Amino acid sequence: MTARPDPRDLLDIDSLLTDEERAIRDTVRRFVRDRVLPDVGDWFERGEFPRELIKELAGIGLFGMHLTGYGCAGTGPVPYGLACMELEAGDSGMRSFVSVQGSLAMFPIHRYGTEEQKQEWLPRMAAGDAIGCFGLTEPDSGSDPGSMRTTARRDGSDWILNGTKMWITNGGIADVAVVWARAEEGIRGFLVPAGTPGFTTRNITAKMSLRASVTSELILDEVRLPESAMLPGALGLRGPLSCLSEARFGILFGAVGAARACFEAALDYSLSRIQFGRPIAAFQLTQRRLAEMAVQVNRAALLAMHLGRLKEAGRLHPAQVSVGKLDNVRQALEVAREARAMLGANGITLEYPVIRHMNNLESLATYEGTAEVHTLVLGQALTGIPAYRTDSAT
Ligand SMILES: Cc1cc2nc3c(=O)[nH]c(=O)nc-3n(C[C@H](O)[C@H](O)[C@H](O)COP(=O)(O)OP(=O)(O)OC[C@H]3O[C@@H](n4cnc5c(N)ncnc54)[C@H](O)[C@@H]3O)c2cc1C
């Protein structure tokens, strides 16, 4: 008779991975078990990102791992996704750091930068010796980045940047900020090194989500940059949007990791928590919850793997990434909320991972395109009609 399936891998998704992919996943899983899980509750409570782990994350090749050359691992998209899944099973702060470093800071330099820019930044960033951030969102410009007010004006051969960026992951600890600004010819990307006169940052501390992650405001006041700071290959919103599509790919895997961690916490708890003389896992209502959660986690993992294989084949469309980002985050939030309820009062403490993931997932639902924005992306992909604003159908 066929053996009972592994409750932690109900659909045997493990069998969809190559040996190399499994090895990378296991390396990251071990790192999370040994270096993240023992302390992450404290980091979250104190609102700290563990900077001491940056070199270790670099040591296992996670920064820009899906990019080639310049010290990057060049592993392809599925291993990158699996790494995101495992990191986020630890905490979204870890995954967000790696996503921003690799997909939002290194990727634009790799894709749109000059050879000099690549040589200057990418090897150091891959090694964890330089940290990057990505400044697109502004206080008055979130879902609609085309409304940005940050400007870049020419002054001789220099550029002068003015404006404020908001909610920028890694902003306060970054050595280089990829800043998107409105120039006369359209939106341009700039590499702004920390310490450039007129460039300051301020951390946003009163957060209840992604507490083990640095989120900052970037202030640009008459920041003078040489021509060589501009990314020549990107003009218009397509530049930053392509970076976001890369990062969303990591998020849709990451959400599976958070959901899996919540499901496993609920499963373990239900088997050991006794009420009415029985483990709560013995009640039909609990089993229904567990069954629903297992289906959601496995379905999300399958979707992530399918999109990963499409990306590997060079056939992944941004609208397909939207399907994954929208639904995997939504499913993960539902799983987290069910798990929270199953843990009863313990579910609201940081002794268990569930409420931490639940709160983190609220950020996932907002950043890199809110659930509503991805719904509109899909609406446009299905109908051909953009519905972002009332006049956009015309
Ligand atoms: C923890 C965290 C980290 C972040 N890191 C970064 C980063 O590193 N770099 C960066 O640039 N940004 C970052 N962001 C910002 C993030 O990308 C924005 O928060 C996001 O794009 C949404 O913008 P907003 O918060 O201004 O919301 P808004 O755009 O003001 O939206 C508010 C609400 O209105 C809805 N809405 C907006 N437009 C429409 C519409 N047309 N139809 C229907 N509903 C609509 C939205 O879905 C949302 O529910 C981060 C955010 C968070 C929370």
The CB of 198 under 6 Å from ligand 1? The reply is no
- CA-nearest residue, atom 42 of ligand 1: 388
The whole-chain average pLDDT of the chain stands at 96
Between CA 56 and CA 40 the distance in angstroms is 16
pLDDT at 173 over 90: yes
The CB of 49 under 6 Å from ligand 1? The reply is no
Q: What is the pLDDT of residue 389?
A: 74
Closest ligand 1 atom to residue 373 Cα is: 47
Q: Would you call 368 a catalytic residue per the annotation?
A: yes
The packing angle between helices 354-366 and 238-272, to 10°, is: 160
- CA-nearest residue, atom 12 of ligand 1: 137
Read off the DSSP letter of residue 3.
P
The pair of structure tokens assigned to 278 is 């029985």
pLDDT at 18 over 60: yes
> Could you tell me what percent of the chain has a pLDDT over 90?
97
Best mutation site among 91, 137, 148, 149 for ligand 1 pocket (most ligand atoms within 8 Å of CB): 137
Q: Give the model confidence (pLDDT) of 315-343 as tens digits.
A: 999 999 999 999 999 999 999 999 999 99
Answer for the pair 290, 266: CB distance below 8 angstroms, yes or no.
yes
CA of 9 to the centre of ligand 1 (A): 33
Query: Within 13 Å of residue 75, how many CA atoms lie on the same side as its CB?
Result: 24
Q: What is the pLDDT of residue 394?
A: 35
The CB of 135 under 6 Å from ligand 1? The reply is yes
pTM of the model: 0.96
Between CA 232 and CA 240 the distance in angstroms is 13
Mean pLDDT lowest for which of 190-199, 204-213, 380-389? 380-389
Answer for the pair 112, 232: CB distance below 8 angstroms, yes or no.
yes
The CB of 141 under 6 Å from ligand 1? The reply is no
| Per-residue CA distances from 62 to 150, 245, 260, 277, 365 (Å) | 31, 18, 21, 47, 24
Q: Give the model confidence (pLDDT) of 266-285 as tens digits.
A: 999 999 999 999 999 999 99
Between CA 34 and CA 362 the distance in angstroms is 26
Q: What is the pLDDT of residue 388?
A: 85
The CB of 215 under 6 Å from ligand 1? The reply is yes
Q: Give the model confidence (pLDDT) of 210-233 as tens digits.
A: 999 999 999 999 999 999 999 999
Between CA 185 and CA 153 the distance in angstroms is 10
Answer for the pair 188, 342: CB distance below 8 angstroms, yes or no.
no
pLDDT at 138 over 50: yes
**Are β-strands 132-135 and 176-183 bridged in parallel, bridged antiparallel, or unpaired?**
parallel
Average of per-residue pLDDT across 122-137: 98
Other CB atoms within a 10 A radius of the CB of residue 274 amount to 10
pLDDT at 393 over 50: no
Name the strand (E) or helix (H) holding 22.
Answer: helix 19-31
Can you say how many angstroms the Cα of residue 220 is from the centroid of all Cα atoms in its chain? 25
pLDDT band at 390 (very low <50, low <70, confident <90, very high): low
pLDDT band at 292 (very low <50, low <70, confident <90, very high): very high
pLDDT at 391 over 70: no
Name the strand (E) or helix (H) holding 97.
Answer: helix 92-99
Q: Give the model confidence (pLDDT) of 32-82 as tens digits.
A: 999 999 999 999 999 999 999 999 999 999 999 999 999 999 998 999 999
